[in-house]
Amino acid sequence: MTSASVHQVPMPEFPMSRAEGCPFDPPPGLRDLQQEAPLARVRLIDGSTAWLVTRYEEQRAVLADKRVSADAGKPGYPSGGQIRQGSGNPIGFILMDDPEHARLRRMVTAPFMIKRVEAMRPAIQRIVDDLLDTMLAGPNPVDLVEVFALPVPSLVICELLGVPYADHGFFQRSSRSLVSRTVPPAERMASFQGLHDYLDDLLAEKTARPGDDLLSTLTERVKAGELTRSDAAGIGVLLLIAGHETTANMIALGTLALLENPDQLALLRDTDDPAVVAGAVEELLRYLNITHNGRRRVALEDIEIGGQVIRAGEGLIVANDIGNRDPAMFADPDRLDVTRDARRHVAFGFGVHQCLGQPLARVELQVVYGTLYRRVPTLALAADRDSIPFKHDAAVYGVHELPVRW
């Protein structure tokens, strides 16, 4: 072998960029890695390395494995320069391991159970109808994110938690900064602290005057000595951010994807079958997979996944966006097909950290997608597609603005 043929292939970097003009598809580099092997070594922004898990089956295996940790404070956790929220200063329980994770998660599970969330459907429908009444009576064109996509989940999560919606400007701004990849870490930390203090003050008020809401039930746990006030505030931060950031992006990005696929939009607009709407929601969750930064874990022991030995202390990133486009799992995966059975997608993760709010997100999206296009059948983009600002810079993907007219 000549020295010229012994060239070193540079390690791929993560995160990667999407292809120009393909805002709904994961970066093509992820597809290349997936075709080669279920796991690949990648370099993160801070120069550290991790295993990127690209195939669906191996992704579920990692996320279900008790020998991997979600604790960002553990050595080897692949934060890649993002905020380190270790055990000392956690955002709720999302970055904790069992049994502490399970203990805290159980304290807030009840309001997110399917039955309880189904009981909220009429109230969510009212919120959606009222916002659309206001939108249709107001200026045209308008930014759908501002007048609809953000207010729907913000109003719902505020009601559920007992957070005054009047403060939405503050918590929406703080959340946006916290999930941004371009805001400097110190600034993101300050946003986290601001939200934490805000929730802590609210918990103090609710301790004195409890209401019929989730934060008030947490104050009972604090009084019983099962939870510190700081942990309760951390859980509040997690639920507040997760409760509106994610669903809001699904509403706006989902609408854009449907406007670009008018045949699919027509299927949704022209049905009054709730099962068709529910199926479309699952497919949009799969196709768009807005949590595009990967689920992050670190191996606690040596484990073997997809024929690859992962050593204890090595980081793992489960790229669920490309997992949801794995052709071994979903036929013709890059096609948006609202009639396919997409229910086994990993857009809500898998395993013990699987999204707690998924029943709520599902009902919100079913109500939104089942109402918006029927009530506003002439909905159309009011800007050039190329001018739409996409959230390449955020942990949760979507659009910053969506100008629409009708």
Q: Is 238 in the site for ligand HEM (CB under 6 A)?
A: yes
CB of 3 to ligand HEM, least distance (A): 44
Residue among 14, 51, 56, 93 that touches ligand HEM (CB under 6 A) = 93
Q: Is 233 in the site for ligand HEM (CB under 6 A)?
A: no
Query: Is 76 exposed, middle or buried, given 0-12, 13-18 or 19+ CB atoms closer than 10 A?
Result: middle
Q: Is 198 in the site for ligand HEM (CB under 6 A)?
A: no
Can you read off the two tokens belonging to residue 231? 């942990």
CA–CA separation, 333 and 326 (whole Å): 7
Residue among 16, 83, 239, 310 that touches ligand HEM (CB under 6 A) = 239
Residue nearest to ligand HEM (CB): 357
Angle at 220 between CA 228 and CA 123, to 5 degrees: 115
Site string for ligand HEM, 308-347 (x = CB under 6 A): ---------------------------------------x
CA–CA separation, 118 and 368 (whole Å): 14
Q: Which amino acid is at 233?
A: A
CB of 138 to ligand HEM, least distance (A): 26
Residue among 175, 177, 217, 247 that touches ligand HEM (CB under 6 A) = 247
Residue among 94, 107, 132, 145 that touches ligand HEM (CB under 6 A) = 94
CB of 146 to ligand HEM, least distance (A): 19
Q: Is 14 in the site for ligand HEM (CB under 6 A)?
A: no
Site string for ligand HEM, 44-83 (x = CB under 6 A): --------------------------x-------------
Cis peptide before 99 (omega within 30 of 0): yes
Query: Is 61 exposed, middle or buried, given 0-12, 13-18 or 19+ CB atoms closer than 10 A?
Result: buried
Residue among 199, 361, 376, 399 that touches ligand HEM (CB under 6 A) = 361
Q: Is 15 in the site for ligand HEM (CB under 6 A)?
A: no
CB of 307 to ligand HEM, least distance (A): 23
Q: Which residue's CB is nearer to ligand HEM, number 14 or number 348?
A: 348
Q: Which residue's CB is nearer to ligand HEM, number 113 or number 380?
A: 113
Residue among 349, 367, 370, 372 that touches ligand HEM (CB under 6 A) = 349
Site string for ligand HEM, 248-267 (x = CB under 6 A): --x-----------------
Rounded to 5 degrees, what are φ and ψ at 278?
-60, -40
CA–CA separation, 406 and 399 (whole Å): 19
Number of residues counted as binding ligand HEM (CB under 6 A): 24
Q: Which residue's CB is nearer to ligand HEM, number 209 or number 211?
A: 211
Q: Is 370 in the site for ligand HEM (CB under 6 A)?
A: no
CA–CA separation, 26 and 41 (whole Å): 18
Q: Which of residues 278-297 bind ligand HEM (CB under 6 A)?
A: 290-291, 295
Q: Is 227 in the site for ligand HEM (CB under 6 A)?
A: no
User: Which one of the spans 12-20, 75-83, 307-315, 355-363 is the region binding ligand HEM (CB under 6 A)?
Assistant: 355-363
Contact 152, 248 (CB under 8 A): yes
Binding site for ligand HEM (CB under 6 A): 70, 93-94, 105, 157, 238-239, 242-243, 246-247, 250, 290-291, 295, 347-349, 353, 355-357, 360-361
